[in-house]
Amino acid sequence: MYRSLLHQLLKQYPDLQAVLDDPNLTPDSQDGCPSLSVLKDLFRNAISALGQRSFTCFIDALDECDEQQVVDMVQYFEELVEQSTKGTLLRICFSSRHYPYIVLRQGIRLTLEDQPGHAKDLETYIRTRLRIDDPELVEVLPPQLLEKAAGVFLWVVLVVEILNKEYRQGGLALRKRLAEIPSRLSELFKDILRRDNENMEHLLLCILWILYSKRPLRPEEFYHALWSGLSLKDLVDSEIPCVTDSGASGRIGKYVISSSKGLAEITKSKQQPTVQFIHESVRDFLIKDKGLNELWPDLGFDRE
């Protein structure tokens, strides 16, 4: 992260590249990327040389870091703001889920769920994406969804799709289905993963590959990885699936969704898209909340 921030800052203000000439930080013998402490010092020196210019940092997903890393990071940036020269406009924006709780000495704290526009955005999403043409249900369901969602956008996204699927199948139990859906996100994940018990072998391999591969898999790698595992159980065709024809990307995209029961996606990157969970909370449910152990108690290895 510090290397990325330093790179962006030096690219925006090329004159600041002079900080790299400090022999104490980047000696001629330097081979490879500097250490974390050196990167922090280089970034601090570059900020100090900004003068009357401005720089804004957006640092997302603090909750995905180790708690001590978060504490150290916040402290570093607080010191950076305090040490910045007069006239420098330095703004730092952190985003995080509610845990771990982050203590800030100064600044503005915004809770997304409490913002007036957030509830309106949720309502707009529901009314736009809910594919139901029954006038009564169209009026009744959105308020119930909003109340049960408690401001969690991901919950709304998943539940709207569940209700759309229920409606496509006749829609005789929409109210009942909504009442059965858990309000807690982790319980909703569990409900989604175990409700129909179809293609559980596909689901397990999908989860394991996303959780434990050394790096995120490209869609084609993911497709072949699951085919390889399933072929050992004679659950798929014996021929290796083609991933180079014109329809391959569409097939693979559908398979990522179906094999994960909607909890994985292909990233939007144009350069090298990969397969990932739709949100870090899915990983938390599987590992921290022991969801993987509860769904497949016989796996027999340490999942931490």
Tokens matching residue 292? 């993987």
Give the amino acid at 94: F
Among candidate residues 148, 183, 218, the one where a domain is terminated: 183
Classify residue 109: in a domain, yes or no: no
Higher-confidence residue of 110 and 277: namely 277
Same-domain status, 46 and 124: no
CATH code, domain carrying 243? 1.10.10
Strands 54-59 and 89-94: parallel
User: Can you tell me whether residue 57 is helix, strand or coil?
Assistant: strand
Phi first, then psi: what are they for 55, rounded to 5°?
Answer: -150, 130
Same-domain status, 176 and 124: yes
- CB 153, CB 185: distance < 8 Å: no
Same-domain status, 164 and 246: no
Reduce the secondary structure of 231-244 to three states and give it as a string: HCCCCCCCCCCCCC
The parent domain of residue 24 ranges over 2-94
Reference 33, options 48, 20, 18; nearest CA is: 20
Classify residue 107: in a domain, yes or no: no
Contacts of 208 (CB under 8 A, 6+ apart): none
Same-domain status, 136 and 213: no
The enclosing H or E element of 94 equals strand 89-94
d(CA 121, CA 85): 39
Mean pLDDT of 122-140: 93
Same-domain status, 155 and 214: no
Domain count across the chain: 3
Tokens matching residue 232? 């050992």
d(CA 156, CA 122): 8
Same-domain status, 220 and 178: no
Q: pLDDT, tens digit, for every residue of 201-235?
A: 999 999 999 999 999 999 999 999 999 999 999 99
Same-domain status, 214 and 148: no
For the chain, the straight-line distance linking the first and the last C-alpha, in angstroms and rounded, comes to 24
| Band of pLDDT at residue 93, cut at 50, 70 and 90 | very high
- What pLDDT is recorded for position 269? 81
Reference 104, options 113, 95, 112; nearest CA is: 95
User: Can you tell me whether residue 15 is helix, strand or coil?
Assistant: helix
Same-domain status, 122 and 173: yes
Where does the chain have alpha helices with state H? 2-12, 36-48, 67-83, 116-129, 135-149, 153-168, 174-180, 185-194, 200-212, 219-231, 248-259, 280-287, 291-295
Same-domain status, 88 and 142: no
Classify residue 108: in a domain, yes or no: no
Classify residue 232: in a domain, yes or no: yes
Q: What is the pTM of this model?
A: 0.76
- What pLDDT is recorded for position 301? 58
Same-domain status, 53 and 122: no
Same-domain status, 15 and 87: yes
d(CA 2, CA 41): 10
Classify residue 103: in a domain, yes or no: no
185 C-beta neighbours (distance < 10 Å), count? 20
Classify residue 158: in a domain, yes or no: yes
Among candidate residues 131, 153, 183, the one where a domain is terminated: 183
Q: pLDDT, tens digit, for every residue of 275-287?
A: 999 998 999 999 9
Same-domain status, 177 and 221: no
Classify residue 152: in a domain, yes or no: yes
d(CA 230, CA 240): 11
Residue 304 has pLDDT above 60, yes or no: no
Classify residue 190: in a domain, yes or no: no
Residue 303 has pLDDT above 70, yes or no: no
